[in-house]
Structure 1
């Protein structure tokens, strides 16, 4: 899932050359904006709490589907939106007067490199649901796209962000279902991944963050933010420290959390989990991308009943048989599709 603000730039730069066009640009603040570090740190802590719930579910301490449905699903989306919004803010603060190629390339290289590392690690750990376009991939891609919006008027950038959010709600096409195109976000069947953050709609909050920051710069609001002292308590200092080192926090927090949950499972193992609810939840999630909720409930109930009645449920969920290796599986899907119409 979701981490962010990883295009870290809570302070502006002075003495930057105007590399695109000649229109005068608003001055960026010279002081670091501590409240942005604080906001980024709070978002990171929120992300860690969500991932902790995911880890508890993975080890069987929470019911299957807990972290991907209901309030926790909304929580995860709010966290992702906040990270991408803050990343858009950072891009404008760092490069609003003109792109500094070396600094931008270094930051993109770090984020993209970390994204590639996560893809590689999850490919070996969970090859069926590895992270091929997660939050880091989305931030890197959005940062590159965002360069085209650095000099556009703030209202136009905000409007573009809103359109990015709206387009997937009104248009999808099967042509975007293959993995090499699904990252765009216009698929009809979502790919399997433990953290999938497609460019659409998630470019939306990034561009909105850019537009809001340009408007704030033109009105001198960033100088006021830079003047705010967010407190000097140990908690506030720790939060700002994590916000300033968000990429390191993102890369390290999950191994730490997984290790803690694993250690707890050795001392107090969870109650064995019934795989049936997880199977039904996953089936309905995949089905709902292109069908009504009522249809998906009927279809997934039918598939579950057929698999159980034929003694195929355990072999299927354990991976002993698949729809590619056993012709009975697609036959059941076809039968249940017809019965559920």
Structure 2
């Protein structure tokens, strides 16, 4: 009786597709933009709270979905014909090491919001969980994906908001961390990427995609960023944070919006209005100094700030008085 042939599990990978690298390049550059905005928001260098703004939230979820779907696509391209174990373990080790580096780095920078299960942690775990689905029928993979995508829309419990269980999902309050990618629903996105890759490769389109080549500096740049996405991910935050901290130490920060006192705001507005009406520099200086003196002497701040007939009368009286004091020959009606 003939012995059965062993199952081959180390067949060559499918050809690397430049188009997939280009899509990954777009995703990593979008992530850099998002993290730059997040850093500015964290250090209160911009007014917008990136963590709660709806548009930024949509962008963040779109970037995350793109990355995880591409993880599924890459697993199919790299191991769809059989798991290439040496390559798989080597890449998994790199990702796990990078994930630990992110945890240590964020704990040092943001101890209250450090990353304990971010996108790299998720990619490492999801890559292992996805292996049994490499050869499964694509429609079965989509059914399983639904089991991960749908339940978090309806189920939740406060216990899952704590760090020990947050990596599963189902929280009711966002855990205190700068980045978290739980199994529910995000493993479902990886499975969707796997199923989509299998269906496309089995279609007539699958024969044409490997032939696509990047032409022009933009596409070539995106492909390059996609191939070095892990390195960009690890380096971009230290570079961004270092630049922001350097700028924040300048005497006149270029990012921090100027905060004016009530007096400074009044004088600036007054000089601007005076200049628009044709007043010269010395005249506007004298006129606005007089106006400020009248407002402070009469404690008219609330009246000046409040629109209405009484405010208009007070402003008119101050205008006539100060115009006459600054330049008796000037017509106060022109202010």
TM-score computed with the length of structure 1 as normaliser: 0.69
Given that 2:148 and 2:184 are in contact with CA atoms closer than 8 Å, whether structure 1 keeps it comes out as yes
Given that 2:14 and 2:78 are in contact with CA atoms closer than 8 Å, whether structure 1 keeps it comes out as no
**Aligned counterparts of 2:191 and 2:209: Cα–Cα separation in 1:** 20
Displacement of 1:227 in angstroms is 0.9
Given that 1:59 and 1:265 are in contact with CA atoms closer than 8 Å, whether structure 2 keeps it comes out as no
Tell me the equivalent position of 1:188. 172
Tell me the equivalent position of 2:79. 95
**Aligned counterparts of 2:79 and 2:239: Cα–Cα separation in 1:** 34
Given that 1:53 and 1:67 are in contact with CA atoms closer than 8 Å, whether structure 2 keeps it comes out as no
**Aligned counterparts of 1:72 and 1:196: Cα–Cα separation in 2:** 16
Change (3 A) 1:28 1:100: closer
The Cα RMSD (Å) is 2.2
Give SS of 2:208's match.
helix
User: Does 1:128 find its partner at 2:112?
Assistant: yes
One of 236, 249, 259 as aligned partner of 1:266: 249
Given that 2:13 and 2:79 are in contact with CA atoms closer than 8 Å, whether structure 1 keeps it comes out as no
Change (3 A) 1:58 1:153: same
Displacement of 1:220 in angstroms is 4.8
Tell me the equivalent position of 1:325. none
Greater relative contact order: 1 or 2 (C-alpha under 8 angstroms, separation 6 or more)? 1
Tell me the equivalent position of 1:18. 8
Tell me the equivalent position of 1:257. 240
Give SS of 1:127's match.
coil
Q: Which has the larger radius of gyration?
A: 2
Give SS of 2:117's match.
coil
Q: Deviations over 1:262-283 (max 9, x none)?
A: 232233331489xxxxxxxxxx
Q: Deviations over 1:150-174 (max 9, x none)?
A: 1211011122223211111112234
**Aligned counterparts of 1:187 and 1:272: Cα–Cα separation in 2:** 39
One of 141, 156, 159 as aligned partner of 2:143: 159
User: Does 1:243 find its partner at 2:226?
Assistant: yes
Displacement of 1:178 in angstroms is 3.3
Give SS of 2:139's match.
helix
User: Does 1:234 find its partner at 2:224?
Assistant: no
Displacement of 1:82 in angstroms is 0.3
Equivalent residues in 2 for 1:21-100 (5 A)? 29-30=14-15, 32-63=16-47, 65-100=49-84
Displacement of 1:245 in angstroms is 1.1
Change (3 A) 1:156 1:127: same
Given that 1:133 and 1:198 are in contact with CA atoms closer than 8 Å, whether structure 2 keeps it comes out as yes
Give SS of 1:99's match.
coil
**Aligned counterparts of 1:71 and 1:272: Cα–Cα separation in 2:** 26
**Aligned counterparts of 2:203 and 2:117: Cα–Cα separation in 1:** 36
Displacement of 1:252 in angstroms is 0.7
Give SS of 1:68's match.
coil
Give SS of 1:82's match.
helix
Displacement of 1:19 in angstroms is 3.4
Give SS of 1:239's match.
helix
Give SS of 1:66's match.
coil
Displacement of 1:67 in angstroms is 4.2
Displacement of 1:71 in angstroms is 0.3
**Aligned counterparts of 2:172 and 2:43: Cα–Cα separation in 1:** 30
